[in-house]
């Protein structure tokens, strides 16, 4: 049991100002880069909320048991989530809803926004090259594990979402 307890790594920080209260593995942990995975959906949500409010408020998609390319064959919930809007898609972390935006979000516009957003907020990330609609949908859905982020930058992202005054 002690072995298991020591295998967890975590950081405790003040959501209001970003000050680190405790990091289980010190500074090295804060610098560690981890694959974004599903957390990348948060960038998609922020993009929609700031740049594409039409999609943020009006995009609906039915997450079903079977889908066709370029969408993932199924969501993480193999039965599907049913009719989704942004709030239910966020709540359910619905891969297919976010991937369904592949033909509604311009890649170049998103890349420009992402580069500006990360630079302004001091987040060190790069988008991978995208060669197909399938890869584009996978990125928007958080299924492209080529993107990574540091733990410190995850804290910055959480503060942006929380609406804190100071990030970093």
Higher-pLDDT residue of 114 and 24 is 114
Q: Tell me the C-alpha distance between 113 and 78, whole Å.
A: 32
Do 108 and 41 meet the contact criterion of CB atoms below 8 Å apart?
no
Q: What is the pLDDT of residue 72?
A: 65
pLDDT in tens, 96-127: 899 999 999 999 999 999 999 999 999 999 99
Q: Tell me the C-alpha distance between 44 and 167, whole Å.
A: 20
The answer on pLDDT for 168 being more than 60 is: no
Q: Tell me the C-alpha distance between 13 and 138, whole Å.
A: 31
Higher-pLDDT residue of 117 and 95 is 117
């Amino acid at each position: 049991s002690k072995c298991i307890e020591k295998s967890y790594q975590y950081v405790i920080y003040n959501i209001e100002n970003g000050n680190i209260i405790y990091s289980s593995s010190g500074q090295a942990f804060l610098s560690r880069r981890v694959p974004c995975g599903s957390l990348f959906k948060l960038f998609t949500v922020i993009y929609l909320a700031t740049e594409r409010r039409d999609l943020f408020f009006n995009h609906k998609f039915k997450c079903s048991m079977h889908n066709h390319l370029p969408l993932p064959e199924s969501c993480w919930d193999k039965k599907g989530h049913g009719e989704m809007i942004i709030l239910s898609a966020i709540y359910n972390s619905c891969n297919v809803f976010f991937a369904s935006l592949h033909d509604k979000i311009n890649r170049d516009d998103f890349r420009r926004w992402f580069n500006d957003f990360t630079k302004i907020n001091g987040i060190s990330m790069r988008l991978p090259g995208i060669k197909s609609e399938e890869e584009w949908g996978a990125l928007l859905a958080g299924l492209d594990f080529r993107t990574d982020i540091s733990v410190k930058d995850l804290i910055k992202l959480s503060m942006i979402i929380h609406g804190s005054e100071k990030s970093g």
